[in-house]
Structure 1
Amino acid sequence: MFKARVKEFEEALEGPDIDINALRNLCFYGIPDIGSFRTTCWKILLGYLGPKRSTWTETLSKKRALYRQFIEELVLPPGLNGNDNQDNVNTGLNDHPLSEGPESAWNTFFQDNEFLLQIDKDVRRLCPDISFFQQATEYPCDIVVHSKGERRLHQRVVPTMLSSANVERKGLGITKINLITKRSNENYVAMDEGLEAHWEVVQRILFLYAKLNPGQGYVQGMNEIVGPIYYIMASDPDLEYRKYAEADCFFCFTALMSEIRDFFIKTLDDSEGGIKFMMAKLANMLKEKDPEVYNKLKEQELHPQYYSFRWITLLLSQEFPLPDVVRIWDSVFSDEHRFEFLIRICCSMILIQRELILQNDFASNVKLLQNYPPIDINTVLSHAVSLNG
């Protein structure tokens, strides 16, 4: 059966034009953990690559070159980006590191520290149950690591007051992302000059995203969204894919964030696609599928935001081991009606625990739903599929 699945994917991806609907149907039931299937499929499902194979080479070449330009212009300190012409150098003579002028590149450089501090803190504890993010990447960014000074973002971090956004919502109860239970015992250590750990690469991706999306910036929890995508890209057996994992991950992450950004923007909480709307959708589904469980949670005043806020916002990336998260995302990314299936998965997670929920008190149910017990992920996914009827 596995060989048959592999053959189906080979046929789906080999033609000049990819049948997106057929690919969605295939990926929905899980992408084989072999070759570059998942890397390629996620790029297509997230819209990074189009359905015409003939466009892929040009798209990848342009996007990867653009990403390098982002690093040169937005990561490297002023005067060190390698692209400064004489005019820029002359102008730079008047741009002193202590300048507070609004157009000062140095002023911007130091202001970046406000959100860089939170990013640095978050990526150093990314996926602590595996060692991958603490290991060295085979392809460190040459213009960053082969230098001294503050080209490496973690060297720029100064422990000042955290003022970047997080996903805490006043009036929504216990919703802060800091309810995350996974924690590493020690902070990840930065690599020596010439080397980069994978978490340092993720840090740069998030920093650039925040710089290029100033209206949103960095919000705590985004590290949990980018982590699995980068893991897949940087673990691909194809050396060419691994070489450009950082750039490809950045554009896939950006594409995904364009669809779930409402989850992270407080002013859009009540909009269709906002987090309150999505939690209400889950509550309504639970009420329809199992009124008894719904009423039990309601009687205990165990509101959806106590547990489903994190489930939905982080696409379940904190509830299951990374391999299970990757499998869940195969189905979620394949969902033509984006995130409908995510809500069904969340509903299934509650219904599967119905017996415990009905007999538990408030405190036990909070613990149960905030620290979901180990389970075969296929059981959850099969149950979620059954809710479609």
Structure 2
Amino acid sequence: MASLSSGSARESKAGFWKKNTSVPGSIKPVYGAQHPPPQTDITSPGWPVKKDDKGKSGKRDPFHDFENKTSDAWDDGDDDLIQMASLKMSLRDVQTSAKVVLDNHSKRANSQQQQHPVRGSSSANSVHTDESSSSAQQQSHPPTQPSPPHHHPSGPGLGVRLNSGGYQPPKMTSIRYVTNKTPDREAARMEKFKAVFTEPSLDLTELRKLCWSGIPKSVRPTAWKILSGYLPTAADRRQETLERKRKEYFSYIDQYYETRYQDQHEETFRQILKDIPRMTSLAHLFQERPAQEIFERILFIWAIRHPASGYVQGINDLVTPFFVVFLSEYIENDIEVENCDLGQLPQSTRNLIEADSFWCMSKLLDGIQDNYTFAQPGIQMKINALSELIKRIDAPLHAHLERHDVQFLQFSFRWMNNLLMREIPLRCTIRLWDTYQAELNGFADFHLYVCAAFLKRFSEDALRENDFQGILMLLQNLPTLHWRDKEISELLAEAFKLKYMFADAPRHLLHKS
């Protein structure tokens, strides 16, 4: 895992967690490009040590001990996200804590670039492009078993983001719209999608049913555009809508993009420029300057059009699935996305991908914008709900985490903020989003049950860990690098059961004293 650039940074971060989780006060703000912290001096060098009610030094903070041995997965570009104090936190602690994290941000980013050079290769994060051969691929590449306690080298906490190269997927060829090699069942599904798309007024309920269990690659771009609300259900209005919205997006570019270096926007754009190179889920593709420029424009225009939240780390990840899916429309069937050279695509084609990605990402964020407004209340509520849900469905695991002082905020904040994108390969994220888009409020509501099923899946592994460090190491670096559609389908089935049990009975999640 990445290591912090200095011991003082490690101590400050560790103390930030444990000290502030016991301080009474207001809700915890998060500081990002839109909400810079006040400039105050740090005057609390004793953070890493717990104190009792009388102010005397007590036992060492387990999170501090953990950081002394190894830094967590947030250090790989997520440090700004964890600048939240607890729900019970004073304003003074908010200011001093945020100052510590932000002061060390640039040092850590530089050291991480040296310690973890990005490897651009066709790795486990390549997009799954052959739905017709998924069963055969699962048999030839079964999911790996979890590593022994304290050893999870293949988990995507770093592996997915840094393309560790430990797994090489088979050479895959994508299906045509309908080919002779397509199994009868898949051919029948394709015919259903074609029939739905060609209806004068598309039946959205029928489309959601078809998409819930996964969308064939060749029709996924159109399905996502309709399910996200970007394209209308009326077939005769779709082309006109595409042309109008694409033109509207580039009018925003002409109007606002030149202001990115002005005082009121400079900090926002600076943060965007720092975050985009960290997007290594498809390492080679995102090292290309044309791709980075596309993301810079999308994120900047979105930020200034949504002043309530502005740009917050994590939003950059949410563009990626749309970008990859819409890019797949315009590349040859035998070229994998991470090997695509954007420079070979016409500028007009890149413009279409950029505009479509912007609007679909905007539609997604419209439903979860309280995840990114000041203090990120949406994420805080989801983390609390996840804790209560796990207490109901897996009491031994919940008690085990409490006994070892592991807080849900310490591992599930990223799950909520990045919609599990840092925890599973990109091909699995795209399959997961098929279902999220098919679900009503999938990104806002169904995601909670997916996170609960995700944690419960690794319950036995967590119970085998007998200390704070081991538990957190596992939960921050879960061994999902070799996951494919099979594992995602199992996860979604379990999440659907949890939703069926609890979504219509919200009182079951209320705390009972």
1:366: which partner in 2? 472
Distance in 2 separating the partners of 1:119 and 1:65: 24
Q: Give the equivalent residue in structure 2 for 1:309.
A: 413
Normalising by structure 2, report the TM-score.
Answer: 0.54
2:65 is matched with which residue?
A: none
| Distance of 1:298 and 1:241 partners within structure 2 | 52
Aligned to 1:102: none
Q: Which residue of 2 aligns with 1:120?
A: 273
Query: CA offsets per residue over residues 306-362 of structure 1, 9 Å max, x none?
Result: 111110111111111111111111111211143332112111111111111112122
Equivalent residue pairs, number:
294
Q: Name the SS for the 2:222 alignment partner.
A: helix
- Pairwise CA distance, 1:48: 0.9
Q: Alignment identity in percent?
A: 32
Matches within 5 A, 1:191-340: 197-237=290-330, 243-267=351-375, 269=377, 274-338=378-442, 339-340=444-445
Describe how 1:27-106 pairs up with structure 2 within 5 A: 27-33=211-217, 35=218, 37-76=219-258
Residue 382 (structure 1) shift: 3.1
Shift of 1:277: 1.4
Counterpart contact for 1:123–1:199, Cα < 8 Å: yes
Q: How far apart are residue 132 of structure 1 and its match?
A: 2.1
Q: How far off is 1:129 after superposition?
A: 4.2
Aligned-residue offset at 1:5: 2.0
CA pair 204-210 structure 1, distance change in 2 beyond 3 A: same
Runs of 5+ consecutive residues of structure 1 not aligned to the other structure: 78-105, 136-189, 191-196
**Post-superposition CA distance 1:81-119 (Å, at most 9, x none):** xxxxxxxxxxxxxxxxxxxxxxxxx9x734422111110
**Quick one: which amino acid aligns to residue 118 of structure 1?**
Q
Higher RCO (Cα < 8 Å, 6 or more apart): 2
Aligned CA-pair RMSD: 2.1
Q: Output the CA distance in 1 between the equivalents of 2:350 and 2:188.
A: 27
253-262 or 278-287, which deviates more: 278-287
Structure 1 stretch displaced more, 229-238 or 252-261: 229-238
Paired position in structure 1 for 2:452:
347
Residue type of the alignment partner of 2:479: P
Q: Which amino acid aligns with 1:244?
A: L
TM-score norm. by structure 1 comes to 0.71
1:370 is matched by which residue type in structure 2? Q
CA distance in 1, matches of 2:249, 2:206: 31
Which amino acid in the other structure matches residue 431 of structure 2?
Answer: R
Per-residue deviation, 1:207: 0.8
User: Unaligned stretches of 5+ in structure 2?
Assistant: 1-184, 332-344, 502-513
Q: How far apart, in 1, do the equivalents of 2:254 and 2:445 lie?
A: 39
Q: 1:130 to 1:323 in 2, by over 3 A?
A: farther
Question: Aligned in 2, Cα 1:198/1:123: closer, same or farther, shift over 3 Å?
Answer: same
1:139 is aligned to: none
Write out per-residue CA displacement over residues 119-149 of structure 1, whole angstroms, 9 at most, x where no aligned residue: 01111121344422234xxxxxxxxxxxxxx
Q: Rate the CA distance shift 1:303–1:372 in 2: closer, same or farther, 3 A.
A: same
Q: Which amino acid aligns with 1:313?
A: N
The verdict on how the C-alpha distance between 1:232 and 1:262 changes in structure 2, with shifts beyond 3 A counting, is same
Distance 1:236 1:384 in 2: 30
Deviation at 1:61, TM superposition (A): 1.5
8 Å CA contact 2:213–2:489 kept in 1: the answer is no
Pick aligned residue for 2:204 from 4, 14, 20: 20
